[in-house]
Amino acid sequence: MFDRGNAGTNGAISGRSVLLTVLACMAGTTFAAAPAHAAVEAEATEAEAGNGDILVTARRREEAVQDVPLAISVLDSRAIEATGTFNVAKLTQIQPSLQFYSTNPRNSAANIRGLGAPFGLTNDGIEQGVGIYVDQVYYSRIASATFDFIDVDRIEVLRGPQGTLYGKNTTAGAINITTRAPSFSPEGRAEISIGNLGFVQAKASLSGPLVEDRLALRLAGSATRRRGTIFNVATGNHVNEQDNLGLRGQLLFRATDSLDLTLAGDFNRQNPECCAQIYVHTGATQRPLSRQFAALAAAFGYAPPSTNAFDRLTDLDVDLRAKQEIGGVSLRAEWDLGPGTLTSVSAWRFWDWDPSNDRDFTGLPITTVSANPSSQRQWTQEFRYAATGEHIDYVAGLFAFHQTLHTSGAQEQGVAASRWLLNPTSANAHNPAVLNGLRSENDIDFKNTSLAAFGQLIWHVTDRLRVQPGFRVNYDRKTGSYVATVTTGSGSTTLNNDQRGVLAPQSYRSRFSDWNLSGDLTLSYDVSDDVLAYATYARSFKSGGINLSGLPLDAGSNPILSAGSVKPEKVNHYEIGLKTQFFDRRATLNLSGFWTEINDYQATVTNGQLGVLRGYLANADKVRVRGIEADFAARPTDRINVYFNGAFTDHEYVKFTDAPCPPELAGGSASPANCDISGQWLPGISRWAFSYGGEYALPAKLLGVDGKAYAGVDGSYRSRFSSNPSRSAYTNVGGYALANFRIGFRTEGGWDLFGWVRNAFDRNYYELLATQSGNTGLIVGQPGDPRTYGATLRATF
């Protein structure tokens, strides 16, 4: 059982039966990587065996991390702070198997090994394939991943399906975030960072007892501001800025020697002027030349402020807003009962989203309003019992989830829309009044209920051989309605064909319900004291969904109701791994090979209509992702630490015969309605990705104070990837390498002062590329951050 006398550091069981693994200590910075595919009750202890191994109680007994056959990469708070990893997007630079793409907080996706969420605009009717958990609470909105980490103790990235203990939302893996727990010993932390671009970030936390040995409180806060990286010549403002505020509080009540109750609450707000995608280049489509970007822009006498995206200029003429608020409360009970621990986690969360976007990506009044404010509420309840026996360890539990979502969206066309969107042969193409003021008001409702029972067992067949089966049975019910009311500029609901082709009135209801069974089996064998081999098979699924962004239209401009829902994804996953230590356990090398196949893969597609700005969902027949990962860490001396993490990922649509065509094959009267992209790349996945780093520290004095001077580097590389659901020559993002440096001085008393530079060589790169609606050939993109630099002062007391 876990030690309740040390609850300030490790008294809470890791989130939703998550394994905490800590692997290489880097001069006060810990990086870890260990292969795994299922998770069981775990907590870490920083006690060391005589040989220096870091120990974990991953399966309810103390054991070295290298003895645990579970795939996970872990960063503790020191690694997070040293590398400036203050959100999930930054985490990708030191975790090569993790990808994160975002055009705004709502339209974000976290993928592991390239899987998790379809590439494109978020559709609320489906769920992510990478689960995000904070203190054992499931966060259903991927927008939560865009917030700054608050008072984080560790972050765990689990690679591969985790459906047995994490649920249907983890077909690709899970990101588990654990914050620091309330302490019965008074403690505090404070940090301030300043940098170029007006960057200011402040963090603080305080913890201590309210009633000795019975009641402890922890409070934490974080605030970040930074000027935008793109200048809007139309407004005189810098856009794509940062403006984040986060607050968190926890109250730990030690009701008895065997029962802990933790009440937690948090509130997070973002309100930046964001998010702009800007001109990158143009490419020829099948549209007539007179209807492609160059000719259309010339007809209006329009030119973008720069044709070099890294001039970081735009002229967007619609107000940009990405305001969101996320928060909630949870109550966790942990009760030592019989041979194990009974855990209950109850939580309520909210998400409010208030956006404004310029969806034509130009300074022309084509689409003058594009906003879909949403309000979501979710309730979750989990009961879990974990026990350890002489030959059998097990975890069993129940989980319930309910979500409601309401969106009141709007889209309105401007005075330039007729000429830009309508066929020149139409009599209305040169009449601005036809589309000017054409407006769609969207009313969207969604309800999602999920119930599950799960269990996992570890059988110690011999001292060296272990068998670990697991299962999860899940029931889902989803209902949704979509109503789009379209009016002309004069307020009429009577539309002509050109108007219906741009903004079509729709009204439909969709429903989905299904039972599913997930399971996995892991075999592990201790080849020697320093070598562990394991093999895993997992059968998992991602719940089916319903389309909540409007449906494609038939020849009569009526919604195709058969596209109202998508089938569940069915996942077959195989993995083998080897975990080794050598050089007197000063070095660790972990290798894993994986093969994942998904039938009925949920993809985002678009239809050929000119005015369609949103994609809808469809099932690709089959996709495959396979690869090899390596994680190496070494501490050759007490002063030097190094690490290297690498991944090779082969990926393709095995069969997708009715996919959307890439822009170079779309838009013409003879263009195919769909294309066979079987054998092509999946979007968002680099074949090669790696990260590396190291730190050198030596004893020193600063102003007469003893401490350590240190210098560190962290680098990453990602090879080329496709940025379109159907691979296009126009939207391939070139590979790029980034390097970050830091140099500083830290004391044993808790002071740390260091300077840092990120993207030190000012590498120009794109986070993603996208196409303009209507196949005009315009390609827009999101440039990555330029070189940034600054200093951080941190104190622990």
pLDDT tens for 509-563 read: 989 999 999 999 999 999 998 999 999 999 999 888 888 888 777 766 677 777 7
Mean pLDDT of the chain: 87
> Which token pair is 575?
């993995």
Q: What is the pLDDT of residue 429?
A: 86
Per-residue pLDDT reduced to its tens digit, 755-775: 999 999 999 999 999 998 878
> Is the model more confident about 631 or about 30?
631
> Which of the four pLDDT bands, split at 50, 70 and 90, describes residue 350?
very high
> Which of the four pLDDT bands, split at 50, 70 and 90, describes residue 285?
very high
Could you give the percent of the chain with pLDDT greater than 90? 64
| Pairing state between β 108-112 and 230-232 | unpaired
The Cβ of residue 496 has, within 10 Å, a number of other Cβ atoms equal to 12
Is residue 108's pLDDT more than 70?
A: yes
Q: How far apart, in whole angstroms, are the C-alpha atoms of residue 107 and residue 615? A: 12
DSSP 97-125: TEEEEESSSSSEEEEETTBSS-SSS--TT
Is residue 460's pLDDT more than 90?
A: yes
Is residue 50's pLDDT more than 80?
A: no
> Which token pair is 155?
């972050």
Residues spanned by the domain of 633: 4-505+516-796
Q: What's this model's pTM, rounded to 2 decimal places?
A: 0.88
Per-residue pLDDT reduced to its tens digit, 151-203: 998 888 889 998 888 887 888 998 888 899 999 999 999 999 999 999 999 99
| Residue type at position 455 | G
Is residue 778's pLDDT more than 90?
A: yes
Dihedral pair phi/psi, residue 63, rounded to 5°: -155, 155
Q: What is the mean pLDDT of residues 450-469?
A: 94
| Any domain includes 38 | yes
Q: 76: which residues sit within 8 A by CB, 6+ positions away?
A: 22, 29, 30, 32, 153, 154
Lowest-confidence pick of 89-98, 190-199, 289-298, 464-473: 89-98
Provide the strand spans (E) within 115-172: 130-134, 137-139, 152-159
Per-residue pLDDT reduced to its tens digit, 690-739: 999 999 999 999 988 999 999 999 999 999 999 988 899 999 999 999 99
Q: What is the pLDDT of residue 62?
A: 41
Closest CA to 144 of 160, 158, 133: 133
Closest CA to 592 of 650, 534, 642, 633: 534
Q: How far apart, in whole angstroms, are the C-alpha atoms of residue 722 and residue 344? A: 43
> Which of the four pLDDT bands, split at 50, 70 and 90, describes residue 746?
very high
Q: 736: which residues sit within 8 A by CB, 6+ positions away?
A: 717, 718, 763, 765, 784
DSSP symbol at 665? G
**Number of C-alpha atoms within 13 angstroms, CB side, residue 751?**
11
Lowest-confidence pick of 44-53, 154-163, 589-598: 44-53
**Number of C-alpha atoms within 13 angstroms, CB side, residue 571?**
36
Lowest-confidence pick of 12-26, 348-362, 501-515: 12-26
Q: How far apart, in whole angstroms, are the C-alpha atoms of residue 137 and residue 265? A: 11
Q: How far apart, in whole angstroms, are the C-alpha atoms of residue 679 and residue 636? A: 45
Q: What is the pLDDT of residue 73?
A: 82
| Any domain includes 241 | yes
Q: What is the mean pLDDT of residues 108-123?
A: 83
DSSP symbol at 67? G
Lowest-confidence pick of 172-181, 562-571, 572-581, 776-785: 562-571
Q: What is the pLDDT of residue 35?
A: 30
Q: Rounded to a whole number, what is the distance in angstroms from the first to the last CA of the chain?
A: 30
Decide if 132 contacts 380 (C-beta within 8 A).
no
Is residue 48's pLDDT more than 60?
A: no
Lowest-confidence pick of 343-347, 622-626, 747-751: 747-751
> Which of the four pLDDT bands, split at 50, 70 and 90, describes residue 407?
very high
Is residue 417's pLDDT more than 80?
A: yes
Q: What is the pLDDT of residue 750?
A: 87
| Any domain includes 270 | yes
| Any domain includes 269 | yes
| Pairing state between β 230-232 and 313-314 | parallel
DSSP 466-489: EEEEEEEEEEEEEEEEEEEEEE-T
DSSP symbol at 261? E
Is residue 387's pLDDT more than 70?
A: yes
Is residue 449's pLDDT more than 60?
A: yes
Alpha helix segments (H runs only) across 37-171: 77-83, 88-91
3-state secondary structure of 316: coil
Chain centre distance of CA 582? 34
Q: What is the mean pLDDT of residues 298-302?
A: 95
Could you give the percent of the chain with pLDDT greater than 70? 89
> Which of the four pLDDT bands, split at 50, 70 and 90, describes residue 119?
confident
> Which of the four pLDDT bands, split at 50, 70 and 90, describes residue 389?
confident
> Which token pair is 318?
């619609």
> Which of the four pLDDT bands, split at 50, 70 and 90, describes residue 585?
confident
Lowest-confidence pick of 25-39, 224-238, 389-403: 25-39
Q: What is the pLDDT of residue 157?
A: 86
Q: What is the mean pLDDT of residues 233-244?
A: 96
- The CATH number assigned to the domain holding 639 equals 2.40.170.20
> Which of the four pLDDT bands, split at 50, 70 and 90, describes residue 781?
very high
Is residue 608's pLDDT more than 50?
A: no
The domain tally of the chain equals 1
> Which of the four pLDDT bands, split at 50, 70 and 90, describes residue 611?
very low
Beta-bridge partner residues of 515: 475
| Any domain includes 345 | yes
> Which token pair is 649?
């990922």
Per-residue pLDDT reduced to its tens digit, 464-510: 999 999 999 999 999 999 999 999 999 999 999 899 888 989 898 98
Q: What is the mean pLDDT of residues 246-251?
A: 97
> Which token pair is 601?
């893969």
> Which of the four pLDDT bands, split at 50, 70 and 90, describes residue 616?
low
Q: How far apart, in whole angstroms, are the C-alpha atoms of residue 530 and residue 534? A: 13
Q: 459: which residues sit within 8 A by CB, 6+ positions away?
A: 391, 392, 466, 467, 468
Q: What is the mean pLDDT of residues 409-434?
A: 91
Decide if 461 contacts 441 (C-beta within 8 A).
no
Torsion of CA 542, 327, 136, 113, to 10 degrees: 40
| Any domain includes 511 | no
Q: What is the pLDDT of residue 615?
A: 58
| Any domain includes 510 | no
Q: What is the pLDDT of residue 82?
A: 81
Q: How far apart, in whole angstroms, are the C-alpha atoms of residue 260 and residue 266? A: 20
> Is the model more confident about 74 or about 5?
74
> Which token pair is 438?
């054409």
Q: How far apart, in whole angstroms, are the C-alpha atoms of residue 18 and residue 270? A: 29
